[in-house]
C-alpha cells in the first residue's frame, strides 16, 4: 500500500491525534496547544487547591476531584489528541467509547464486588479468634 493511495486528506478519516488539515496553519496549531495547556494547568491547580482549601464541603471533595480529573482528561483528548465528534473521527471516538466502557466495568465492578465481600465478611478480629 503506497502513499499514492492517499486521497485528498480532508475527505477521509483522520488518524487519532491528527488535526483537520484545513484548520491547520502553524499559528493556529500552536494556539490550540496553548489553550489546552492553560486549561489543563488551571484544572490541575484547582484540583490541588480544592484538596485543602476547605472551600468545598469535606465529604464532597473526592467527587469534586473526580469531576476536575474527568474535565482535564477531556481537555487532553480535545486539545492534545484532537479527538472530535466529526464524521472523520467516528472510528476513533467509538474505540474510545468502548475503552471507557471496559474501564468503567473493571473499576466499578471491582469496587462494587469487593465492597460487598467486605460487608459480608466477619471482622478480622473474629476470624483470628475462630482460627485459634
Partner 1 sequence: MTAAHAADATAEISLEGGQATGRGAGGPAPVRVYVGYGFWIFILSDMVMFSAFFAAYAVLEGATAGGPGGRQLFDLTNVAWETACLLLSSFACGLASLAAASRNALWFHVAMAATFVLGAVFVGLELKEFAGLAAAGDGPQRSAFLSAFFTLVGCHGLHVTAGLLWLLTMMAQVLAKGFRADILRRILCFTLFWHALDIIWVAIFTVVYLMGKTP
16 contacts 81 by C-beta, under 8 angstroms: yes
Secondary structure (DSSP) of 46-96: HHHHHHHHS-S-GGGHHHHHHHHHHHHHHHIIIIIS---SSGGGHHHHHHH
CA distance 95 to 82: 14
Q: How far is the CB of 37 from partner 1 (least distance, A)?
A: 5
Instruction: Collapse the DSSP code of 25 into the 3-class scheme (helix H, G, I; strand E, B; otherwise coil) and give the result.
Output: coil
Q: How far is the CB of 123 from partner 1 (least distance, A)?
A: 14
CB-based contacts of 36, cutoff 8 Å, min separation 6: 75, 76, 78, 79, 80
Find the binder of partner 1 among 22, 42, 78, 91 (CB under 8 A): 91
In the complex with partner 1, which residue's Cβ is closer, 7 or 130?
A: 7
Asked if residue 107 binds partner 1 (CB under 8 A), the reply is: yes
Q: How far is the CB of 122 from partner 1 (least distance, A)?
A: 16
Q: How far is the CB of 127 from partner 1 (least distance, A)?
A: 15
CA distance 77 to 96: 10
Asked if residue 39 binds partner 1 (CB under 8 A), the reply is: no
Binding stretches for partner 1 (CB under 8 A): 1-9, 11-18, 24, 26, 29-30, 33, 36-37, 40-41, 44, 47-48, 51-52, 58, 61-62, 65-66, 68-69, 72-73, 76-77, 80-81, 86-92, 95-96, 98-99, 102-103, 106-107, 109-111, 114
Amino acid at each position: 500500500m503506497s502513499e499514492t493511495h492517499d486521497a485528498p486528506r480532508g475527505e477521509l478519516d483522520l488518524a487519532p491525534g491528527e488535526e483537520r488539515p484545513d484548520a491547520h496553519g502553524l499559528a493556529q496549531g500552536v494556539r490550540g496547544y496553548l489553550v489546552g495547556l492553560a486549561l489543563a494547568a488551571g484544572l490541575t491547580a484547582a484540583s490541588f487547591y480544592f484538596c485543602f482549601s476547605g472551600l468545598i464541603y469535606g465529604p464532597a471533595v473526592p467527587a469534586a476531584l473526580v469531576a476536575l480529573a474527568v474535565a482535564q482528561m477531556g481537555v487532553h483528548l480535545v486539545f492534545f489528541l484532537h479527538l472530535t465528534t466529526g464524521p472523520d473521527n467516528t472510528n476513533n471516538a467509538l474505540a474510545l467509547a468502548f475503552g471507557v466502557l471496559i474501564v468503567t466495568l473493571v473499576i466499578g465492578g471491582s469496587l462494587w464486588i469487593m465492597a460487598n465481600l467486605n460487608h459480608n465478611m466477619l471482622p478480622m478480629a473474629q476470624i483470628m479468634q475462630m482460627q485459634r
